[in-house]
Amino acid sequence: MAQIYENTFQSGDQTYKYADISAFLGDHHAQVDTLPYTIRILLEAALRRANQGLALGDELNALLSWDNAHDQDIAYQPERVILQDFTGVPAIVDLAAMRDAVVAQGGDATSINPSVPVDLVIDHSVQVDKAGNDEAFAFNVKREFERNQERYTFLKWAQNSFSNLQVVPPDTGIIHQINLERLAQVVMTKDGLAFPDTLVGTDSHTTMINGLGVLGWGVGGIEAEANMLGEATLMQTPKVVGVNLSGRLQPGVTATDLTLTLTHLLREHGVVGKFVEYYGVGLSNLPLAYRATIANMAPEYGATCGYFPIDSQTIDYLKLTGRSAKQIALVQAYADANHLAYKPVEDDIRHYSENLELDLSTVKPSVAGPTRPQDLVYLADLPKQFDDRRDLEAFPVAVAGKHFDLHPGALGLAAITSCTNTSNPQVLFAAGLIAQKARELGMQVPEYVKTSFSPGSRVVSDYLTAAGLQADLDALGFNLTGYGCMTCIGNSGALQDDLQAAVEAKPYPLAAVESANRNFTGRVNPKITDTYLASPPLVVIYALAGTMDIDLDTQPVGHAADGHAVYLKDLWPSDAQIAQLTADYLHPEQFTANYQTLYHQNADWDALPTATGDTYAWDAASTYIAKPPFGEALTQAAPTTLTGLSVLAKLGDSVTTDHISPAGFIGRDTPAGKYLQARGITPLAFNSYGSRRGNHEVMMRGTLANIRLQNQLAPGTQGGFTTLPDGTQTTIYEASQAYAKTKTGLVILAGKDYGMGSSRDWAAKGVKLLGVKAIIAESFERIHRANLAMMGVIPLQYLPGDTAKSLGLTGKETYQIELDQSVAHVTATTTDGSVKHFDTKVRFDTPADWGYYQAGGIMPQIVANALN
């Protein structure tokens, strides 16, 4: 019998057991102090399961030599899963469909059930239908329930039917902020055994929790479903990039500025698929909320996670947010006992795969944009962003009875929004103080700017109201619009009415500024050309200016009521003011009171009818919830030779999941819009793609239909179009249906970083339903590659030096693919009969990926397992 490495520690009057990583390492001639904290957590999980006789593979040996084992697979099974509703609804729909598949074959429906705690937070469905007044919040919530009653009724059934599933009602907060402020335990216990809190989530910004010393990252909904059902997933032993932080931030520099600086630095270095771990003397100068902001944007700098180890700031935050004294003592005792508490003395001997440094004192105020989060722009350099459009004529528009001549850079939207920054009281107090000063001076936001405020937690409203600052924000139009992921996810609603009508009649390059994490083209609003990420106080500043085409170092933000120029320095609060407000108006009692009623803060949710039963009663007329076909098993193993394949789309570099996955508005003339109208749904009631993610018929019609997608097979078009072999130009969906009639399998050709962006399961599910068998790209984003494999779609990567261009591929060829374990031999036959042969790497990176492919996807595989 293998040796058991188990020890005990005392917390309060209770003794707990734990998997002793130091003892294990000592017996294998290794020191715990040399390991990154993230590797220690992975090692603990592997050791704990080995102690219980549940070893998933050779993880222990791989982790012993972790920095020399990056080509080795390790099995990972998180302790809990967190979902938001856009990605959570289709995940639960899949589970319901799998129950049906099990029952149809004589099995027990309840064999499909989460085996770990699952929290689903409804936060992505509320939209900014109304903004800038006191009625906005109530109006938006009412519209939310009108649009989403079917989805919410389904989720109430799911909560009652599935064990281990808890649903957090809508309009209570954003998933990541609720996770940070309440759900995360840092250390968990079960049957007297203590272990680290670890998780995955169906949102890429699950990484925010790493700021609290909890290891977690985003996965596709498909992978999350596997983890929910107790399936381990395989990952390659990660490289860990250590970032040594020194010094302290200069006065007036915000956590957002630091985060954008790190995003740029880490993207430049290259951390895709790697763990990032922060350490150094600068940690003591970074409050937990700053760390959470940095950790939140790990997907933007490309890392799997951005981890901050447990230290005194962690404990202070647990106290601030009202965690119990018993839990706080447990965290401290366990972290000390099992070497997870940060020790600066280890910095010189701790080993990292790669090393970076940042002196916090060098960080400058900045924004990022106009289309990528990593594109850092210092404030003085912003006007240069618009130099190439200065010859455009002014855009005349009348809004609210006032005439304006707009120029490129004029703001259509200014939003304090998202989990990224609204978890940070310091930047919100700063935004409120700027609003207060502007109000005192009689300044106003220009009428053409749509302003909104959607904090991630109701506690934010508590402390801003207590400090008297919400009234000042309201005076500038930053009234509460909802507690949800709104503008950042594309739920920004229309622009101000008159401006919306004007740009629909004649497009013009407008800008947006948001305190968020994503600014891909067309994401926040289809009428916005340039989107900049900024701290909440800078959002208020730029809203007052009405434009991003301004040098705040030298130009006035605007003018006071008496006509004198007002500059940035006249409005910006001191760090001392912000610190005083934080001390005076932020208290643990606010968090305790809020979270005591978390599950009963929404009377509309409580009033919804509650269905019961082990299987769901599908409504054939529903356009929100439909039974998907993913649980249906193949009648035979998937082929290793695929022939007669046509190219559905030929795409360039940096095609994001925003381009692939249906998101945002549904156009009336799109395939999805036509489908809904054929079922009696008017365009006003379309809602968003995100709200209809539980209906595969809508979603497959919206796949590869983004208005910014450029398919090289349909030159001269932008959007979801392609060209059939006979020269007919049509939508990608309609083309896929034409190919399906002739049983023609499909291929997508792509460039670098295919699938970068949010962890959207529908980016993989959608192409699967369109009939895509393989995607040949120069490189893949981590989560999307895994999702494709789990859906049984083959990710193929060109060999070094090869590209579609270098190989002379036009996309008009017919393809044959012959698979083996590592290489696919591809034959492309042109219309004139000439043949091109080339090899590609099969990106089934783990043995499990081959199993998924042979079973037709992970869901048929899970159904088969449940029946055995």
CA 542/CA 369 separation, integer angstroms = 14
Residue 613 lies in a domain: no
Q: What share of the chain in percent tops pLDDT 70? A: 100
Residue 214 lies in a domain: yes
Assess whether 194 and 262 both reside in one domain.
yes
Mean pLDDT of 646-666: 91
Residue showing tokens 């749509």: 450
Over residues 520-579, the pLDDT tens digits come to 877 889 899 999 999 999 999 999 999 999 999 999 999 999 999 999 999 999 999 999
Assess whether 646 and 759 both reside in one domain.
yes
Over residues 267-322, the pLDDT tens digits come to 999 998 899 999 999 999 999 999 999 999 999 999 999 999 999 999 999 999 99
Complete DSSP assignment for 723-773: E-TTS-EEEHHHHHHHHHHTT--EEEE--TTBTBSS--THHHHHHHHTTEE
The total number of residues shown for the chain amounts to 868
Which of residues 318, 342, 362 is at a domain's end? 362
The pLDDT assigned to 630 comes to: 86
- Domain boundaries, position 429: 393-586
Assess whether 351 and 491 both reside in one domain.
no
CA 706 to chain centre: 18
In this structure, what token pair is assigned to residue 705? 């239909």
Given a contact cutoff of 8 angstroms between Cβ atoms, the answer to whether 739 and 646 are in contact is yes
Which of residues 307, 341, 362 is at a domain's end? 362
Residue 295 lies in a domain: yes
CA 819/CA 824 separation, integer angstroms = 5
The pLDDT assigned to 512 comes to: 97
Assess whether 467 and 582 both reside in one domain.
yes
Question: Pick the residue with more confidence: 492 or 758?
Answer: 492
Given a contact cutoff of 8 angstroms between Cβ atoms, the answer to whether 423 and 589 are in contact is no
Assess whether 510 and 441 both reside in one domain.
yes
Residue 758 has pLDDT above 80, yes or no: no
Residue showing tokens 């989560």: 783
Relative to beta strand 165-168, strand 14-19 is unpaired
The amino acid present at 71, given as its one-letter code, is D
CA 852/CA 864 separation, integer angstroms = 12
325 pLDDT band (50/70/90 cuts)? very high
In the three-class reduction of DSSP (H, G, I as helix; E, B as strand; rest coil), residue 660 is classed as helix
Assess whether 38 and 120 both reside in one domain.
no
Residue 557 lies in a domain: yes
Residue 760 has pLDDT above 80, yes or no: no
Mean pLDDT of 192-201: 97
Assess whether 344 and 407 both reside in one domain.
no
Which of residues 76, 97, 112 is at a domain's end? 76
Complete DSSP assignment for 199-222: EEESSGGGGGGGGGT-EEEE--HH
Residue 431 has pLDDT above 90, yes or no: yes
Average pLDDT, the chain: 94
CA 201/CA 707 separation, integer angstroms = 28
Assess whether 21 and 96 both reside in one domain.
no
* 518, 523, 525, 529 alpha-carbon torsion, rounded to 10°: 90
1 pLDDT band (50/70/90 cuts)? very low
CA 514 to chain centre: 16
Residue 384 lies in a domain: no
The pLDDT assigned to 684 comes to: 87
| CA 584 to each of CA 13, 254, 425, 588: distance values in angstroms, whole numbers, following the listed order | 35, 20, 12, 12
Over residues 47-93, the pLDDT tens digits come to 999 999 988 778 999 999 999 999 888 889 999 999 999 889 999 99
Given a contact cutoff of 8 angstroms between Cβ atoms, the answer to whether 42 and 74 are in contact is yes
In this structure, what token pair is assigned to residue 821? 């374990």
Given a contact cutoff of 8 angstroms between Cβ atoms, the answer to whether 116 and 81 are in contact is yes
Spell 260-283 as b/e; 16+ CB within 10 A means b. Answer: bbbbbbbbebebbbbbbbbbbebb
Assess whether 109 and 63 both reside in one domain.
no
Residue 401 has pLDDT above 90, yes or no: yes
Assess whether 398 and 512 both reside in one domain.
yes
Residue 319 lies in a domain: yes
CA angle 86, 418, 491 (to 5 degrees): 50
437 pLDDT band (50/70/90 cuts)? very high
Residue 372 lies in a domain: no
> Residue 696 maps to which CATH number?
3.20.19.10
Residue 373 has pLDDT above 60, yes or no: yes
The pLDDT assigned to 756 comes to: 85
782 pLDDT band (50/70/90 cuts)? confident
The pLDDT assigned to 179 comes to: 97
> Residue 509 maps to which CATH number?
3.30.499.10
Given a contact cutoff of 8 angstroms between Cβ atoms, the answer to whether 662 and 689 are in contact is yes
Assess whether 676 and 788 both reside in one domain.
yes
Number of folded domains that form the chain: 4
Q: What share of the chain in percent tops pLDDT 90? A: 85
- Nearest partner of 751 among 770, 776, 786, judged by Cα: 776
* Structural element, H or E, at residue 512: strand 510-514
Mean pLDDT of 154-158: 96
The pLDDT assigned to 759 comes to: 58
- 723: β partners: 729
Spell 737-757 as b/e; 16+ CB within 10 A means b. Answer: bebeeeebbbbbbbbebbbbb
Given a contact cutoff of 8 angstroms between Cβ atoms, the answer to whether 683 and 693 are in contact is no
Assess whether 64 and 103 both reside in one domain.
no
Mean pLDDT of 586-605: 95
Given a contact cutoff of 8 angstroms between Cβ atoms, the answer to whether 340 and 213 are in contact is yes
Q: Within 523-641, where are the H helices? A: 536-545, 568-571, 575-585, 588-596, 603-607
Relative to beta strand 198-201, strand 80-84 is parallel
* Structural element, H or E, at residue 499: helix 497-505
Residue 627 lies in a domain: no
In this structure, what token pair is assigned to residue 763? 């980016």
In this structure, what token pair is assigned to residue 532? 């900049």
Over residues 814-857, the pLDDT tens digits come to 999 999 889 999 999 999 999 999 999 999 988 888 999 999 99
CA 325/CA 333 separation, integer angstroms = 12
